[in-house]
Protein backbone atom coordinates (compact mmCIF):
# COMPACT_ATOMS: atom_id res chain seq x y z
CA UNK A 1 0.00 0.00 0.00
CA UNK A 2 1.43 3.29 -1.11
CA UNK A 3 1.15 6.27 1.22
CA UNK A 4 -1.10 9.11 0.04
CA UNK A 5 1.92 11.29 -0.66
CA UNK A 6 3.74 12.73 -3.65
CA UNK A 7 6.30 10.93 -5.81
CA UNK A 8 8.11 11.73 -9.03
CA UNK A 9 8.45 9.93 -12.33
CA UNK A 10 11.98 8.53 -12.53
CA UNK A 11 13.64 9.14 -15.89
CA UNK A 12 16.97 7.72 -17.06
CA UNK A 13 18.79 11.09 -16.86
CA UNK A 14 18.04 11.24 -13.12
CA UNK A 15 18.80 7.65 -12.11
CA UNK A 16 22.42 8.24 -11.04
CA UNK A 17 21.40 11.44 -9.24
CA UNK A 18 18.61 9.68 -7.33
CA UNK A 19 20.94 6.85 -6.27
CA UNK A 20 23.59 9.35 -5.14
CA UNK A 21 21.40 11.96 -3.41
CA UNK A 22 18.26 10.06 -2.29
CA UNK A 23 15.89 13.03 -2.69
CA UNK A 24 13.09 13.36 -0.16
CA UNK A 25 10.14 12.19 -2.25
CA UNK A 26 7.66 9.61 -1.04
CA UNK A 27 7.91 7.22 -3.99
CA UNK A 28 9.04 6.82 -7.60
CA UNK A 29 7.28 5.67 -10.74
CA UNK A 30 9.00 4.11 -13.76
CA UNK A 31 7.85 3.26 -17.26
CA UNK A 32 7.65 -0.52 -17.47
CA UNK A 33 8.89 -0.78 -21.04
CA UNK A 34 12.25 0.83 -20.21
CA UNK A 35 13.05 -2.00 -17.79
CA UNK A 36 12.14 -5.08 -19.78
CA UNK A 37 15.63 -6.15 -20.80
CA UNK A 38 16.55 -9.47 -19.22
CA UNK A 39 19.77 -8.04 -17.78
CA UNK A 40 22.13 -5.13 -17.77
CA UNK A 41 22.87 -2.07 -15.66
CA UNK A 42 19.50 -0.30 -16.25
CA UNK A 43 17.57 -3.07 -14.56
CA UNK A 44 20.21 -3.43 -11.84
CA UNK A 45 19.93 0.31 -11.03
CA UNK A 46 16.16 -0.03 -10.61
CA UNK A 47 16.76 -2.86 -8.17
CA UNK A 48 19.04 -0.61 -6.11
CA UNK A 49 16.50 2.21 -6.15
CA UNK A 50 13.76 -0.18 -5.05
CA UNK A 51 15.74 -0.85 -1.86
CA UNK A 52 15.23 2.79 -0.85
CA UNK A 53 11.85 3.79 -2.32
CA UNK A 54 8.41 2.39 -2.97
CA UNK A 55 8.09 2.07 -6.75
CA UNK A 56 5.05 2.12 -9.03
CA UNK A 57 5.17 0.61 -12.49
CA UNK A 58 3.46 2.57 -15.23
CA UNK A 59 3.09 0.67 -18.50
CA UNK A 60 2.44 2.22 -21.90
CA UNK A 61 2.48 -0.95 -23.96
CA UNK A 62 -0.42 -3.21 -23.02
CA UNK A 63 -2.60 -1.54 -25.66
CA UNK A 64 -5.71 -2.37 -23.62
CA UNK A 65 -7.99 -0.93 -26.29
CA UNK A 66 -6.53 -2.75 -29.28
CA UNK A 67 -8.88 -4.87 -31.40
CA UNK A 68 -6.05 -7.44 -31.41
CA UNK A 69 -5.59 -9.83 -28.50
CA UNK A 70 -3.23 -8.64 -25.76
CA UNK A 71 0.43 -9.23 -26.62
CA UNK A 72 1.13 -12.37 -24.57
CA UNK A 73 4.91 -11.89 -24.62
CA UNK A 74 4.59 -8.33 -23.41
CA UNK A 75 2.25 -9.39 -20.63
CA UNK A 76 4.76 -12.07 -19.55
CA UNK A 77 7.56 -9.51 -19.48
CA UNK A 78 5.42 -7.12 -17.43
CA UNK A 79 4.63 -9.90 -14.99
CA UNK A 80 8.34 -10.76 -14.68
CA UNK A 81 9.14 -7.11 -13.94
CA UNK A 82 6.32 -6.89 -11.38
CA UNK A 83 7.57 -10.05 -9.66
CA UNK A 84 11.09 -8.68 -9.59
CA UNK A 85 10.31 -5.14 -8.39
CA UNK A 86 7.21 -5.79 -6.25
CA UNK A 87 5.71 -2.40 -7.10
CA UNK A 88 3.08 -0.66 -4.99
CA UNK A 89 0.92 0.09 -8.04
CA UNK A 90 0.73 -1.07 -11.66
CA UNK A 91 -1.04 0.98 -14.31
CA UNK A 92 -1.63 1.45 -18.03
CA UNK A 93 -3.93 3.59 -20.18
CA UNK A 94 -7.40 3.69 -21.67
CA UNK A 95 -6.02 3.72 -25.20
CA UNK A 96 -4.52 1.53 -27.88
CA UNK A 97 -1.15 1.58 -29.65
CA UNK A 98 -0.85 -1.40 -31.93
CA UNK A 99 -2.68 -3.43 -34.52
CA UNK A 100 -1.49 -6.20 -36.79
CA UNK A 101 2.04 -6.20 -35.38
CA UNK A 102 2.54 -2.47 -35.94
CA UNK A 103 3.20 -0.54 -32.73
CA UNK A 104 3.05 3.25 -33.11
CA UNK A 105 4.31 4.39 -29.69
CA UNK A 106 1.43 6.72 -29.01
CA UNK A 107 -1.61 6.44 -26.75
CA UNK A 108 -4.30 6.48 -29.42
CA UNK A 109 -7.95 7.36 -28.80
CA UNK A 110 -10.84 4.90 -28.73
CA UNK A 111 -14.35 5.39 -29.97
CA UNK A 112 -16.40 4.93 -26.80
CA UNK A 113 -18.87 2.32 -27.99
CA UNK A 114 -20.29 -0.85 -26.47
CA UNK A 115 -17.92 -2.87 -28.64
CA UNK A 116 -14.90 -1.00 -27.27
CA UNK A 117 -16.23 -1.25 -23.71
CA UNK A 118 -16.51 -5.04 -23.88
CA UNK A 119 -13.08 -5.34 -25.41
CA UNK A 120 -11.36 -3.07 -22.90
CA UNK A 121 -13.06 -4.89 -20.00
CA UNK A 122 -11.90 -8.27 -21.37
CA UNK A 123 -8.35 -7.00 -21.73
CA UNK A 124 -8.24 -5.37 -18.28
CA UNK A 125 -9.56 -8.60 -16.74
CA UNK A 126 -6.97 -10.68 -18.64
CA UNK A 127 -4.16 -8.37 -17.57
CA UNK A 128 -5.28 -8.46 -13.94
CA UNK A 129 -5.45 -12.27 -14.06
CA UNK A 130 -2.00 -12.54 -15.61
CA UNK A 131 -0.47 -10.10 -13.13
CA UNK A 132 -2.39 -11.48 -10.17
CA UNK A 133 -3.22 -7.99 -8.97
CA UNK A 134 -5.36 -4.95 -9.54
CA UNK A 135 -4.50 -2.73 -12.49
CA UNK A 136 -5.06 1.03 -12.55
CA UNK A 137 -6.34 2.49 -15.81
CA UNK A 138 -5.41 6.07 -16.74
CA UNK A 139 -7.64 8.52 -18.59
CA UNK A 140 -5.91 9.59 -21.83
CA UNK A 141 -5.25 13.06 -23.17
CA UNK A 142 -7.21 13.51 -26.39
CA UNK A 143 -6.83 15.57 -29.54
CA UNK A 144 -9.92 14.26 -31.28
CA UNK A 145 -13.15 12.41 -30.73
CA UNK A 146 -14.83 9.98 -33.06
CA UNK A 147 -18.17 10.83 -34.65
CA UNK A 148 -19.52 7.53 -33.39
CA UNK A 149 -18.60 7.59 -29.71
CA UNK A 150 -21.83 7.65 -27.71
CA UNK A 151 -20.47 6.92 -24.19
CA UNK A 152 -18.88 9.88 -22.35
CA UNK A 153 -15.31 9.03 -21.32
CA UNK A 154 -15.85 9.23 -17.53
CA UNK A 155 -18.90 6.96 -17.85
CA UNK A 156 -16.84 4.55 -19.95
CA UNK A 157 -14.14 4.49 -17.26
CA UNK A 158 -16.76 4.02 -14.53
CA UNK A 159 -18.14 1.00 -16.43
CA UNK A 160 -14.65 -0.51 -16.78
CA UNK A 161 -14.13 -0.06 -13.04
CA UNK A 162 -17.48 -1.62 -12.20
CA UNK A 163 -17.08 -4.61 -14.51
CA UNK A 164 -13.42 -5.45 -13.85
CA UNK A 165 -12.70 -4.16 -10.36
CA UNK A 166 -9.74 -2.18 -11.67
CA UNK A 167 -8.71 1.12 -10.14
CA UNK A 168 -8.37 4.53 -11.78
CA UNK A 169 -5.26 6.57 -12.34
CA UNK A 170 -6.68 10.06 -12.72
CA UNK A 171 -4.32 12.26 -14.73
CA UNK A 172 -5.57 15.76 -13.91
CA UNK A 173 -3.51 17.36 -16.67
CA UNK A 174 -5.01 14.93 -19.19
CA UNK A 175 -8.51 15.90 -18.04
CA UNK A 176 -7.69 19.56 -18.61
CA UNK A 177 -5.94 18.99 -21.97
CA UNK A 178 -8.79 16.85 -23.33
CA UNK A 179 -11.43 19.26 -22.03
CA UNK A 180 -9.77 22.23 -23.75
CA UNK A 181 -9.19 20.33 -27.00
CA UNK A 182 -12.68 18.88 -27.21
CA UNK A 183 -14.73 21.67 -25.64
CA UNK A 184 -15.68 19.76 -22.47
CA UNK A 185 -16.11 20.95 -18.90
CA UNK A 186 -13.22 19.51 -16.87
CA UNK A 187 -15.05 19.96 -13.55
CA UNK A 188 -18.06 18.03 -14.83
CA UNK A 189 -15.69 15.36 -16.14
CA UNK A 190 -14.04 14.92 -12.74
CA UNK A 191 -17.44 14.95 -11.00
CA UNK A 192 -18.56 12.08 -13.24
CA UNK A 193 -15.59 9.85 -12.34
CA UNK A 194 -16.18 7.23 -9.61
CA UNK A 195 -14.02 9.02 -7.09
CA UNK A 196 -13.64 6.04 -4.76
CA UNK A 197 -11.87 4.12 -7.53
CA UNK A 198 -9.13 6.75 -7.90
CA UNK A 199 -5.97 5.21 -6.44
CA UNK A 200 -3.44 7.56 -7.97
CA UNK A 201 -3.21 11.05 -9.47
CA UNK A 202 -0.83 12.19 -12.19
CA UNK A 203 0.21 15.82 -12.60
CA UNK A 204 2.30 17.21 -15.46
CA UNK A 205 2.76 20.25 -17.64
CA UNK A 206 1.52 20.76 -21.18
CA UNK A 207 2.25 23.12 -24.05
CA UNK A 208 -0.01 25.10 -26.35
CA UNK A 209 0.38 24.54 -30.09
CA UNK A 210 -1.28 26.12 -33.04
CA UNK A 211 -3.24 23.84 -35.41
CA UNK A 212 -4.65 25.71 -38.40
CA UNK A 213 -4.97 28.84 -36.25
CA UNK A 214 -6.72 27.05 -33.39
CA UNK A 215 -4.87 26.56 -30.09
CA UNK A 216 -4.38 22.89 -29.24
CA UNK A 217 -3.03 21.77 -25.88
CA UNK A 218 -0.30 19.15 -26.20
CA UNK A 219 0.28 16.77 -23.29
CA UNK A 220 4.07 16.82 -23.63
CA UNK A 221 5.02 16.66 -19.92
CA UNK A 222 7.53 19.38 -20.72
CA UNK A 223 6.79 22.13 -18.17
CA UNK A 224 5.60 22.84 -14.65
CA UNK A 225 2.00 21.99 -13.81
CA UNK A 226 -0.32 24.71 -15.14
CA UNK A 227 -2.34 26.89 -12.69
CA UNK A 228 -5.65 25.57 -14.07
CA UNK A 229 -4.49 22.01 -13.40
CA UNK A 230 -3.49 22.83 -9.81
CA UNK A 231 -6.99 24.27 -9.32
CA UNK A 232 -8.65 21.11 -10.69
CA UNK A 233 -6.38 18.97 -8.52
CA UNK A 234 -7.49 20.91 -5.42
CA UNK A 235 -11.15 20.46 -6.40
CA UNK A 236 -10.96 16.72 -6.97
CA UNK A 237 -8.95 16.21 -3.77
CA UNK A 238 -11.83 17.71 -1.81
CA UNK A 239 -13.95 14.76 -3.00
CA UNK A 240 -11.37 11.98 -3.15
CA UNK A 241 -9.30 12.66 -0.07
CA UNK A 242 -5.52 12.31 -0.21
CA UNK A 243 -4.15 9.84 -2.77
CA UNK A 244 -0.69 8.87 -4.05
CA UNK A 245 0.20 11.62 -6.53
CA UNK A 246 2.92 11.75 -9.15
CA UNK A 247 4.81 14.57 -10.86
CA UNK A 248 5.70 13.55 -14.44
CA UNK A 249 8.23 15.26 -16.68
CA UNK A 250 9.25 13.74 -20.05
CA UNK A 251 10.33 16.56 -22.37
CA UNK A 252 12.82 19.36 -21.64
CA UNK A 253 13.58 17.41 -18.46
CA UNK A 254 15.05 19.80 -15.85
CA UNK A 255 17.32 19.18 -12.88
CA UNK A 256 16.03 16.65 -10.37
CA UNK A 257 15.60 19.47 -7.84
CA UNK A 258 12.88 21.06 -10.01
CA UNK A 259 10.83 17.87 -9.89
CA UNK A 260 11.33 17.62 -6.13
CA UNK A 261 10.19 21.25 -5.81
CA UNK A 262 7.07 20.51 -7.88
CA UNK A 263 6.39 17.49 -5.66
CA UNK A 264 6.57 19.73 -2.54
CA UNK A 265 4.02 22.00 -4.13
CA UNK A 266 1.70 19.05 -4.78
CA UNK A 267 2.18 18.01 -1.15
CA UNK A 268 1.08 21.47 -0.03
CA UNK A 269 -2.03 21.39 -2.25
CA UNK A 270 -2.93 17.94 -0.94
CA UNK A 271 -2.40 19.11 2.64
CA UNK A 272 -4.62 22.15 2.11
CA UNK A 273 -7.48 20.60 0.13
CA UNK A 274 -7.74 16.88 0.74
CA UNK A 275 -10.36 15.83 3.21
CA UNK A 276 -9.09 12.80 5.04
CA UNK A 277 -11.41 9.85 4.51
Partner 1 sequence: MPSWKRMPSLREVQASFIDALLGSDTAPAAALVDGDGLPPRARLEIYRHHAIDSLTAALQAAYPVVARLVGDGFFRYAAHEFIRAEPPAGPCLFEYGEGFPGFLATFPPGRSLEYLPDVARLEWKLNAAAHADDFVPVDLGRLLGLDPDDAERVTFQLDPSLSLLASPWPIDAIWHANQPEVDPDRTVDLDAGAVHLEIRRVDDNPAFRRLAPPTFAFRRILLTGFPLSDALRAAHAEDHAFDVTDALRALFEENVLGGFRLSPETKASAS
Q: Provide the binding-site residues for partner 1, judged by CB under 8 A.
A: 33-34, 36-42, 44, 60-61, 63, 66-67, 71, 73-74, 77, 96-106, 108, 110-111, 113, 115-116, 119, 143-149, 181-183, 209, 211-212, 214, 216, 218
Question: Which residue, 192 or 218, is less far from partner 1 as judged by CB?
Answer: 218
Report the nearest approach of partner 1 to the CB of residue 167 (Å): 22
* The three-state (H, E, C) secondary structure of 156-217, written as one string: HHHHHHHHHCCEEEEEHHHHHHHHHHHCCCHHHHHHHCCHHHEEEEEECCCEEEEECCEEEE
Question: Which residue, 55 or 116, is less far from partner 1 as judged by CB?
Answer: 116
Question: Which residue, 125 or 216, is less far from partner 1 as judged by CB?
Answer: 216
The backbone region for 163, taken as left when phi is positive above 0, alpha when psi lies in -120 to 50, beta otherwise, is alpha
Report the nearest approach of partner 1 to the CB of residue 169 (Å): 18
Gap between the Cα atoms of 127 and 59, Å rounded: 12
Taking CA atoms, 115 is separated from 14, 89, 118, 150, 161, in Å, by 42, 28, 5, 11, 16
Report the nearest approach of partner 1 to the CB of residue 45 (Å): 9
Report the nearest approach of partner 1 to the CB of residue 243 (Å): 27
Report the nearest approach of partner 1 to the CB of residue 39 (Å): 4
Q: Do 252 and 206 touch, CB atoms closer than 8 A?
A: no
Element housing 131 (H / E): helix 114-131
Question: Which residue, 56 or 263, is less far from partner 1 as judged by CB?
Answer: 56
Gap between the Cα atoms of 16 and 31, Å rounded: 17
Question: Which residue, 40 or 227, is less far from partner 1 as judged by CB?
Answer: 40
Amino acid sequence: MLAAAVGIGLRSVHVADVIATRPAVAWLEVHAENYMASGGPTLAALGRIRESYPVAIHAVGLSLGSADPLDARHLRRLRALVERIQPALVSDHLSWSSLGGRYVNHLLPLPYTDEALHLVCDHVAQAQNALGRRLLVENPSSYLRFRESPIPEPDFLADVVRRTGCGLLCDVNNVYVSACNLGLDPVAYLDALPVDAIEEFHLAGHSVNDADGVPVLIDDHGARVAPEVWALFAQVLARSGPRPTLIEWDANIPELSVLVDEARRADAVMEAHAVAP
